Amino acid sequence: MKLERYLIILLAAIGLVACHKNANGEGSAEEEIEPVRYEYGLPVDSFRVDTGFVKDGETLGGILGRLGADRKQLAGIPNIPRKEFDVRSIRPGKEYFGFHRADTAGVERLCYFVYIADIRRAVVLHLTDSIHVEKQEKPLRTETRHAEAVIESSLWNAMVGNDLPIELALELSEIYAWTIDFFGLQKGDSIRVYYDEQYVDTTRVGIGRIYAAQFYHGRKWLEAFYFEAGDVHSYFDGDGKSLRKAFLKAPLNYKRISSHFTYARKHPIYKTVRPHTGVDYAAPAGTPVVSIGDGVVIEKGYKGGGGNTLKIKHNSTYTTAYLHLQKFASGVAVGTRVSQGQVIGYVGSTGASTGPHLDFRVWKNGTPVDPLKMESPPVEPVPASYRPEFDSIVNVMRGELKGEK
């Protein structure tokens, strides 16, 4: 009877051991080792982590002091090279983390400070031993997308209504600046676009290249294809013609430039420092002034210090103005369409002026730009040597725009 009880106990023990063996008959550990979790290059589970947001008027020293930094750590803050981390650049609302760990004596100390500059970039301040800075940047992930939208009111609202990046509206208005008046879009116009969308982790942060687009406007499809080969890199229609037109380099024959584009010029008459968001071309009174591109006159008249002024809207992106004119060319009025190179007025010295000159100004998307630094986009068609490659890309992109797989 004792032997029988012994055998039962032995068999039960053998069964118990078998439950702890894997499919290969090998014993497994009682606990699996958890993988170490890293954030910002730090094993976060080894620290106690505080988080917070920068408040108005807070300094880095104040934040670190509140997180428990000691005197030695705080004394090292002014020695951080500005090119590595400009401590004055911290902004209200930005998130930060403090990483704490107990030393060998059991005293908890602040070891690292992480400042989140934006969704992609972080600054890690090492506070152990000597203070030093480590910059971290999350990788940018790109997904190529096909998207379509019907316009009910504006291109901007069409993007919002279809959960598409707002940057698409801005880029498309640049691509089609010479082809479409975006203030004249009609309900029912539509857009197809094939482009790169950019992500950090799972958050959309912007767009990359727009490879192709088709815009239905004025009862026809207007195509745009990006093509890059050799020194060619621009947008063209399906026939290989450039979507852009070049501006003239200058609106007149001038002797010299008497004043450049600046936000800090001492005005020769008012004797005060004020912006001069244009270029002054010195030329004899009566010198013809021409429009640098096709457009429509939107302002004409005497404008105080600017004297006789003419303003021309060239497209949805660019507007130019011509100041201090002696007189306007005949036939030029508000609403008149003018051509590139057409005489629109004559050099004078009207308004606040010390001598005959043309004050020429350019706005891009409503912001003043330096006329001397303004890009003159290419206008040549795709070179014949590249046409087979271009035509092949157009065929592929047309399929992508239709969502064909």
CA distance 33 to 169: 50
Q: 147 with 185, same domain?
A: yes
Q: What is the CATH number of the domain that holds 308?
A: 2.70.70.10
Average pLDDT score, the chain: 85
Q: 88 with 186, same domain?
A: no
pLDDT-derived band at 309 (thresholds 50, 70, 90) equals: very high
Q: 68 with 86, same domain?
A: yes
Q: 110 with 177, same domain?
A: no
Predicted confidence (pLDDT) per residue in 95-107, tens digit? 999 999 998 888 8
Q: 147 with 98, same domain?
A: no
Q: 261 with 369, same domain?
A: yes
pLDDT value at position 352? 83
Q: Is 401 part of any domain?
A: no
Q: Is 153 part of any domain?
A: yes
Nearest Cα to 72, choosing from 110, 123, 124?
Answer: 110
Q: 346 with 288, same domain?
A: yes
Q: Is 284 part of any domain?
A: yes
Mean pLDDT calculated for residue range 373-382: 75
Do the beta carbons of residue 140 and residue 147 sit within 8 Å? Answer: no
pLDDT value at position 170? 86
pLDDT value at position 1? 44
Which of these three, 106, 137, 168, is where a domain ends? 137
- Unique residue bearing structure tokens 């997180």: 67
Q: 196 with 270, same domain?
A: no
Q: 117 with 170, same domain?
A: no
Q: Is 214 part of any domain?
A: yes
Q: Is 397 part of any domain?
A: no
Q: Which domain holds residue 54?
A: 39-137
| 69 has a pLDDT exceeding 90 | yes
Q: Is 74 part of any domain?
A: yes
Range in 8-17, 203-212, 215-224 with the lowest mean pLDDT: 8-17
Q: 165 with 80, same domain?
A: no
- For the chain, how many structural domains are there in total? 3
Q: What is the CATH number of the domain that holds 45?
A: 3.10.450.350
Q: 216 with 293, same domain?
A: no
Which of these three, 82, 109, 137, is where a domain ends? 137
| 159 has a pLDDT exceeding 50 | yes
Q: 262 with 369, same domain?
A: yes
Q: Is 197 part of any domain?
A: yes
Predicted confidence (pLDDT) per residue in 236-264, tens digit? 999 999 987 778 878 887 656 766 656 55
- CA–CA distances in Å: residue 204 to residues 40, 95, 119, 143: 20, 19, 10, 10
In three-state form (DSSP H/G/I as H, E/B as E, the rest C), the secondary structure along the chain is: CHHHHHHHHHHHHHHHHHHCECCCCCECCCCCCCCCCEECCEEHHHCEEEEEECCCCCCHHHHHHHHCCCHHHHHCHHHCCCCCCCHHHCCCCCEEEEEEEECCCCCEEEEEEEEECCCCEEEEEECCCCCEEEEEECCCEEEEEEEEEECCCCHHHHHHHCCCCHHHHHHHHHHCCCCCCHHHCCCCCEEEEEEEEEEECCEEEEEEEEEEEEEEECCEEEEEEEEEECCEEEEECCCCCECCCCCCCCCCCCCEEEECCEEEEECCCCCCEEEECCEEEECCCCCEEECCCCEEEEEEEECHHHCEEEEEECCCCEEEEEEEEEEECCCCCCCCEECCCCEEEEEECCCCCCCCEEEEEEEECCEEECHHHCCCCCCCCCCHHHHHHHHHHHHHHHHHHCCCC
pLDDT value at position 274? 59
Q: Is 320 part of any domain?
A: yes
- Unique residue bearing structure tokens 């009880």: 5
